[in-house]
Amino acid sequence: MTQENSSWQLLSKNGRQIWAYKPKSNNIDDHLNNAHNFSEQELSAFAENFQFSRENNPSASDKVFRSQMQAANPRPTATKKTIARNKEEQILIDSIINGIEYFSQLQSDEGHWAGDYGGPLFLLPGLLIASYLSGSPLPKPHQAMMQVYLFNHQQPDGGWGMHIEGEPTMFGTVMQYVSLRIMGVDKNDTRLTKARRWIKNNGGATGIPSWGKFYLALLNLYDWQGFNSLLPEMWLLPTWLPFHPSRYWCHSRMVYLPMAYCYAERIQAPENDLILSLREEIYCEDFANIHWEKQRNTVCEKDIYTTQSPILKWTNLINNGYEKIKFKWLRKKTTAYLLKYINAEDAQTNYLNIGPVSKAINSICIWHAEGKESESFKKHVARWYDYLWVAEDGMKMSGYNGSQLWDTAFTVRAILESDIGLLYPNILKKAENFIDNMQILTEHETHQAFFRHPMIGSWPFSTAEQGWPVADCTSEGLSSALALQKTDIFKQNISDERLKQAVDVILSYQNKDGGWPTYELQRAPKWLEKLNPSEIFADIMADYSWTECSAACSIALLDFQERFPDYKTESINTALSLGLSYIINKQKSDGSWYGGWAVCFTYATWFAIEALMQGKAHIDPSLHKQCINKATDFLLKRQMADGGWGETYESCAKMIYSQAKTSQVVNTAWALLGLQAAESNNKEAIQQGINLLIARQQDNGDWAQENISGVFNYNCMITYSSYRNIFPLWALNRFYKLSTSAK
């Protein structure tokens, strides 16, 4: 390893992962080494070592992490050789083994797989604003790498998208612009001049969507008058009201909570030279002359995803009116409540918070309420680093504190799909250890007071200490634990009792419509979506059911029943028939399913097929046949000339299948998993897809990073860097299993 290779190191402890610059030791609690600057020389050495070009692919390959892990970890060897019956089979086995052995080098000592979880471009600005407002600058090397990241993702016309693959938007561009200025980049830097041109050509920052207006208002770059009231008092209304915030989707709830506090307090940076200059840089008109009230609903057309409904407009009118006459005593009571809630969320999540947006805004609230020297604020700052990730494109803010449990659970299933996986007991043992450690076994003390869904027995998406259970993560945790226990190759620690607790959680998560949501039951009616104020996301107001979540939960229940047929048989059977009917009803006329959390139709179609095939006994046979036939027809129709499948992120936003220029290994793998699960008799199509996966595999067992694979709320993409390994491996392993059992 070169010096540059080793200056950034990923430290990890029980799933917690932090990038440290030249750390003094491997102790994660001591990761900051403030003695260092980051020289120009080091920067260019980094760029040379880890080349990145947005033009080739805006999605980085996670080279920094991967090269480090490869250098540190020897390749494992199989406990015995798998004998092939012919040359073709040998190629298949070699590819699977190569894939497993390569990927196992990326496994941490504590058993999980880490990886780049970037993609959205509006996260890092939030953190930088928190650090700027609170006067807590990030270390120089971190800032230098953040600048690298932001410039790497600037597009040729000077703008930035909302996420790394998206077309430039006002939100993306203004937020990155301001971030770079906060970090001290000169306004005359040609890249910033170009960005300014983009902003001004598109109407200026008055048209930034509401989340951007909020961030700019904090910086004193937007008048709070130009921001629609969030009616903070709403939090004190009776909880039975259908629009009470406790009924919102938890991510919206936990973002609008600290936003309401900041709004109620009108938190605002003091004017200084930078702020005064920025006011001149990002607007088309003179800042002092902007009619702020008129800007409340101005949104640049490049940003709009959800248009304001008439009822939202009326609500805003009323709320803005109330703001003029508000009762001071009530406002005081409200902010005290908001703060209590923020403190509770901080404690429940060990200051990680539910996600990256609230992480930054909660930090701001605690700084404002308790001060920079308070213990709570220091605990917040300590957790900023849990959200930062270094890849060859620079330092980014992750969409979560990682995808640890999720990736580990899938990897176990992919490896164990055939007997080849059994040849790697050490990898599996370590993974089991991690999955064991990540199950949530205690309840938050304040869970009832703050509207939390019971969580004993659940699994999270990232780590147990983050403290937010997820329905389908619980399912993947359970399915992977059961798959491991089937092997019986080493001592395992998850008791029957705990498996049953997981099932109880899954059962408790089923929505009235028969499907499964993400973190909580759907608590608000769908019409509440009319009050979605975000402009840039859809379906954020309630926790609706999703095909993938419903499929994962149904599959976990089926896996569980196989092992414990007598546990709550009736309840599980009822849950299954409702859940599977939900999935069937969601099938589109072309045979596909829309995927809400990854790109896109191939993802959800795979999940749905898997659940319907495994749950066949619970479905009317003719309906089942019709449904599966339609699904396989859909997949076969979408196969590309080279044997692969490929979708772009536009499938998600437009909700219409959008074919990529080239096939994608991740989509190909999902389609193949689906076709094989469906027992499609088009062997040739499957063989062609398999050939493509093998041909695309690199010599070291990895696959190249292609298009971005994850999404949320239809309109923002998110990177799942492990998917390029997990799913091809899984599809190949299934092919091997089926071909050996058939003969």
CB of 711 to ligand LAN, least distance (A): 7
Name the residue nearer to ligand LAN (CB basis): 38 or 714. 714
Helical (H) or strand (E) element with 711: strand 710-712
Residue nearest to ligand LAN (CB): 712
Is 548 a binder of ligand LAN (CB under 6 A)? yes
What is the contact mask toward ligand LAN in residues 236 to 255, using x (rule: CB under 6 A)?
---------------x---x
Q: DSSP state, 226?
A: G
Cα 46 from Cα 393, distance rounded (Å)? 10
CB of 719 to ligand LAN, least distance (A): 11
Binding residue for ligand LAN (CB under 6 A) from 389, 451, 461, 735? 461
Question: Please, are residues 8 and 23 in contact by the beta-carbon 8 Å criterion?
Answer: no
Binding residue for ligand LAN (CB under 6 A) from 387, 410, 537, 723? 537
Question: Please, are residues 651 and 603 in contact by the beta-carbon 8 Å criterion?
Answer: no
Binding residue for ligand LAN (CB under 6 A) from 65, 132, 597, 727? 597
User: Is 590 strand, coil or helix?
Assistant: coil
H-type alpha helices, 153-238: 170-182, 190-201, 210-218
Name the residue nearer to ligand LAN (CB basis): 100 or 218. 218
CB of 171 to ligand LAN, least distance (A): 12
Question: Please, are residues 576 and 554 in contact by the beta-carbon 8 Å criterion?
Answer: yes
Distances (CA, A) of 340 to 335, 397, 691: 8, 27, 57
Helical (H) or strand (E) element with 689: helix 683-696
Q: DSSP state, 25?
A: S
Stretch that binds ligand LAN, among 19-27, 42-50, 354-362, 667-675 (CB under 6 A): 354-362
Question: Please, are residues 160 and 125 in contact by the beta-carbon 8 Å criterion?
Answer: no
Stretch that binds ligand LAN, among 101-109, 355-363, 408-416, 566-574 (CB under 6 A): 355-363
Distances (CA, A) of 126 to 129, 172, 218, 252, 498: 5, 12, 10, 16, 38
Cα 506 from Cα 475, distance rounded (Å)? 7
Cα angle at 140 between 135 and 142, to 5 degrees? 95
Name the residue nearer to ligand LAN (CB basis): 171 or 597. 597
- Strands (E) across 361-475 are located at 388-391, 394-397
Binding residue for ligand LAN (CB under 6 A) from 209, 355, 591, 701? 355
Stretch that binds ligand LAN, among 326-334, 353-361, 647-655, 732-740 (CB under 6 A): 353-361
Residue 54, CB half-sphere, CA atoms under 13 Å: how many?
19
Name the residue nearer to ligand LAN (CB basis): 226 or 356. 356
Is 518 a binder of ligand LAN (CB under 6 A)? yes
Name the residue nearer to ligand LAN (CB basis): 139 or 356. 356
Q: How many CB atoms lie within 10 A of CB 191?
A: 14
CB of 291 to ligand LAN, least distance (A): 29
CB of 549 to ligand LAN, least distance (A): 5
What is the contact mask toward ligand LAN in residues 404 to 433, using x (rule: CB under 6 A)?
--x---------------------------
Name the residue nearer to ligand LAN (CB basis): 420 or 612. 612
Stretch that binds ligand LAN, among 104-112, 163-171, 617-625, 710-718 (CB under 6 A): 710-718
Binding residue for ligand LAN (CB under 6 A) from 182, 218, 669, 718? 718
54-93 residues in contact with ligand LAN (CB under 6 A) are: none
Stretch that binds ligand LAN, among 33-41, 352-360, 421-429, 562-570 (CB under 6 A): 352-360
CB of 133 to ligand LAN, least distance (A): 20
CB of 82 to ligand LAN, least distance (A): 32
Stretch that binds ligand LAN, among 335-343, 349-357, 600-608, 725-733 (CB under 6 A): 349-357
Question: Please, are residues 194 and 203 in contact by the beta-carbon 8 Å criterion?
Answer: no
Looking at residue 561, its amino acid is Q
Helical (H) or strand (E) element with 66: helix 63-72
- Strands (E) across 90-238 are located at 160-161, 168-169
Q: DSSP state, 262?
A: H
What is the contact mask toward ligand LAN in residues 326 to 345, using x (rule: CB under 6 A)?
--------------------
The residue annotated as part of the active site, out of 472, 543, 559, 702, is: 472
Name the residue nearer to ligand LAN (CB basis): 125 or 356. 356
Cα 280 from Cα 652, distance rounded (Å)? 37
Q: How many CB atoms lie within 10 A of CB 190?
A: 9
Name the residue nearer to ligand LAN (CB basis): 19 or 546. 546
User: Is 574 strand, coil or helix?
Assistant: helix
Buried b / exposed e across 484-504, counting CB within 10 Å, b at 16+?
A: beebeeeebebeeebbbbbbb
Residue 269, CB half-sphere, CA atoms under 13 Å: how many?
26
Helical (H) or strand (E) element with 17: strand 16-21
Distances (CA, A) of 172 to 158, 271, 613: 11, 24, 42
- What is the Cα gyration radius of the chain? 25
User: Is 603 strand, coil or helix?
Assistant: helix
271-310 residues in contact with ligand LAN (CB under 6 A) are: none
What is the contact mask toward ligand LAN in residues 462 to 501, using x (rule: CB under 6 A)?
--------x-xx----------------------------
Residue 472 appears among annotated catalytic residues: yes
553-572 residues in contact with ligand LAN (CB under 6 A) are: none
Q: DSSP state, 378?
A: H
- The structure tokens listed for 410 are 């899938």
How many residues belong to the site for ligand LAN (CB under 6 A)?
Answer: 20
Instruction: Name residue, tokens 């920067």.
Output: 43
CB of 736 to ligand LAN, least distance (A): 27
Binding residue for ligand LAN (CB under 6 A) from 713, 721, 725, 733? 713
CB of 540 to ligand LAN, least distance (A): 6
CB of 463 to ligand LAN, least distance (A): 13
Name the residue nearer to ligand LAN (CB basis): 399 or 644. 399
H-type alpha helices, 287-370: 310-325, 328-348, 356-370
Binding residue for ligand LAN (CB under 6 A) from 125, 207, 356, 728? 356
Name the residue nearer to ligand LAN (CB basis): 251 or 430. 251
- The structure tokens listed for 361 are 């805004």
Looking at residue 573, its amino acid is N
CB of 151 to ligand LAN, least distance (A): 23
Is 399 a binder of ligand LAN (CB under 6 A)? yes
Which of these, 50, 108, 103, 24, lies nearest to 723 by C-alpha position?
Answer: 103
Question: Please, are residues 366 and 386 in contact by the beta-carbon 8 Å criterion?
Answer: no
Binding residue for ligand LAN (CB under 6 A) from 208, 455, 549, 553? 549
CB of 257 to ligand LAN, least distance (A): 11
23-52 residues in contact with ligand LAN (CB under 6 A) are: none
Which of these, 60, 712, 45, lies nearest to 395 by C-alpha position?
Answer: 60
CB of 550 to ligand LAN, least distance (A): 10
Name the residue nearer to ligand LAN (CB basis): 359 or 624. 359
Binding residue for ligand LAN (CB under 6 A) from 712, 723, 730, 735? 712
- The structure tokens listed for 705 are 């990073």
Instruction: List residues near ligand LAN by CB under 6 A.
Output: 251, 255, 355-357, 399-400, 406, 461, 470, 472-473, 518, 537, 548-549, 597, 712-713, 718
Residues acting as catalytic residues: 472
